[in-house]
Chain A
Amino acid sequence: MSDTSPSTKAPGLFQRIWQSDMGYSFRSSKITVVAGIISALFVLAALFAPWVAPHDPYDLASISIMDAFLPPAWMEGGDARFLLGTDNIGRDVLSTIIHGSRISLGVGLASVFFAASIGITLGLISGYVGGRTDAFIMRVAEIQLSFPDILIALLIDGTIRSILGPGAHGNISFFVVIAAISLAYWVQFARTVRSTTMVEKNKEYIQAARVTGKGSLYIMFRHLLPNVMGPVLVIATIMLALAIVTEATLSFLGVGVPPTQPSLGTLIRIGNDFLFSGEWWITIFPGGALAIMGLSVNLLGDWLRDALNPKLR
């Protein structure tokens, strides 16, 4: 753990990280480096999607139904304009994948951020305050944990939708999905933070702070928070992969983001209808992109967990 302390010296920061044990364990695992590069590519593609993508899938004017169901460029009947072919309404599959990754990543990151914020706060309170507060929070967490995340997300999603009524689709559904995923995943953060907090709060540095008369909030956020961030980081990475998959699953099941702004899951759902009629590329390419994205993030999470846990070396 000791070598993860942030360095403040601006010059050579990157170099110091690179040369630290973390940096070494990153460099020495080829597969992690590959996963890192792929993840970085996805992030860049997502950030600069409008500039990177060859076509604009949202620009209805540029889409022609005449281009529908074109196979990938290298296949017979393919069109050089559409490298990975087109979908049922003539959108370029490559461009929809790039824009879809942007939505998948965005929803994933936002969900993890909110889930982490809720989970860290409740976990810190639960672990530090203890007693009935802890019992209550943990009972709720346990009940929620007894259902798979996807079911929780589905329920929350379904509930919000039925409260809002069927008309309220469109942009709001992004927030519905984000809310559903964050509320499904806060538990993992809360439990990890709680157990780390319970270990840390009995350490003498916390008692030392209490002896100097520091209050609970100060101790929770100044002393404990930095010390629980290691495990949180690991969970966050693994959760990001999960959140991306969950969003894709929700969209695949038809309760995720709207088809007008498709995420990877929506694309797979759309393409699934045409799998039997031979237009496999509409499903398989977004599916492959989703698989690679999920795998890369998971690989990074795996590495992070091992690197931060010296026992496993």
Chain B
Amino acid sequence: MLSFVLSRILQSFIVMIGVSLVAFSLFTYVGDPISNLVGIQTSDAKREKLRESLGLNDPMPVQFLRFIERASQFEFGISYQQKRKVGDIIAERLPATLELSFVSAMLALLIGIPAGIYTALHRKSWFSHFMLSASLVGVSLPTFLIGIMLIFVFAVNFNILPSFGRGEVVKLGFWSTGFLTASGLKALIMPSITLALFQMTLIMRLVRSEMLEVLRADYIKFARARGLSDRMVNFSYALMNTLVPVITITGLQLGSIIAFAIITETVFQWPGLGLMFIQAINEVDIPVMSTYLLLIAMFFVIINLIVDLLYYFVDPRLRVKQGD
């Protein structure tokens, strides 16, 4: 158990180092950090002095270590455009994105998994066919298009839902939440559906194909040959075995929801991290870009770790050593 967890943590660490390196290279080599900080009139000598004081003349590994050291203290530098600390901007934007992602992830899981099981067990039913066709539409349509269509129908034509923003938010310490007001909840409906739809269809199709695969296995056939009830075969045998691969991929998918929010947030002008990132790209605001990258990697790593641990408890082949 200990070695399993430790090796997973080490792997996560390697991923974080890799991503930090990318973020650091972005930060250091793309564009000139000095000219983004000072005006055009600044003299070369002053620039050089600034360069020295910021440690930009140190050897690369030293700079990288300093980058990591500062990142671990949530020091990410100063935004070129907004001239504010990146950490502050992130803290301000984070709640919006996390709330949206959480609601979407729940939607995706709570609808996607049961739908996947249903379509696998009832392959021939019309509802399965309908769900499958609908899911293909969900996979094929770009997220932004779904958002636009929803806006067109519910905001423009019927004018029943807001088309942009978070509505009223309540401040709970540093956290701003939209869960506590009617307008906040209303504003959440269309963005969360837009964001959830793609993941939902993906999860549904994944659960379905994995379950069909498992239903073909010998041990399912043998279970049927022993006269076990359909309920037991389908749920205690097939579903359990389906979960093993599904957990991993679903975890990865949910991890990507936060990053996927970029598009949804742009369409609905949702004041979260994604919108911030898009603005940063358009304005070549490198510190914001690289910080966002690190943040996403961290979320991914944490979710992955949770997934691995779950996996460990579901599959005895990992938990129990092979006997004689």
| Cα distance A163–B31 in the bound complex, in angstroms | 6
Residues of B274-304 whose CB lies within 8 A of A:
277-278, 281-282, 284, 286, 289, 293, 296-297, 300-301, 304
Partner of A249, one of B19, B137, B144, B151: B144
Q: How many residues of B contact A (CB 8 A)?
A: 45
A275 touches B304 (CB 8 A): no
A268 in contact with B144 given A146-B15, A146-B255 (CB within 8 Å):
yes
Binding stretch for chain B, among A13-21, A118-126, A222-230, A280-288: A280-288
A143 touches B144 (CB 8 A): no
Closest to B133 in A: A31
Q: Mark A250-273, 1 if CB is under 8 A from B, else 0.
A: 001111000000000100100010
Residues of A within 8 Å of B282, CB to CB, are 254-255
Partner of B141, one of A166, A284, A291: A291
A148 in contact with B149 given A241-B140, A275-B156, A298-B139 (CB within 8 Å):
no
Residues of B1-25 whose CB lies within 8 A of A:
14-15, 18-19
Q: Is B216 an interface residue (CB 8 A)?
A: yes
| Cα distance A30–B226 in the bound complex, in angstroms | 40
| Cα distance A311–B263 in the bound complex, in angstroms | 37
Residues of A within 8 Å of B142, CB to CB, are 245, 248-249, 252, 265, 290, 294
Residues of A204-245 whose CB lies within 8 A of B:
241, 245
* B95 CB → nearest A CB, Å: 20
Residues of B215-262 whose CB lies within 8 A of A:
216, 252, 255-256, 259-260, 262
A299 touches B293 (CB 8 A): no
A147 in contact with B284 given A268-B144, A294-B141, A295-B140 (CB within 8 Å):
no
Partner of B145, one of A146, A158, A291, A297: A291
| Cα distance A312–B212 in the bound complex, in angstroms | 9
Since A245-B140, A287-B148 are in contact, a sample of 9 more A-B pairs with Cβ atoms closer than 8 Å, ordered by chain A residue number, is A139-B14, A143-B18, A154-B262, A154-B278, A161-B281, A162-B31, A162-B284, A255-B281, A295-B141
Taking beta carbons and an 8 Å cutoff, which residues of B are in contact with A? Answer: 14-15, 18-19, 26, 30-31, 136-137, 139-145, 148-149, 151-152, 156, 163, 212, 216, 252, 255-256, 259-260, 262-263, 266, 277-278, 281-282, 284, 286, 289, 293, 296-297, 300-301, 304
Shortest 5 CB-CB contacts between residues of A and residues of B: A294-B140, A158-B281, A295-B140, A148-B256, A162-B284
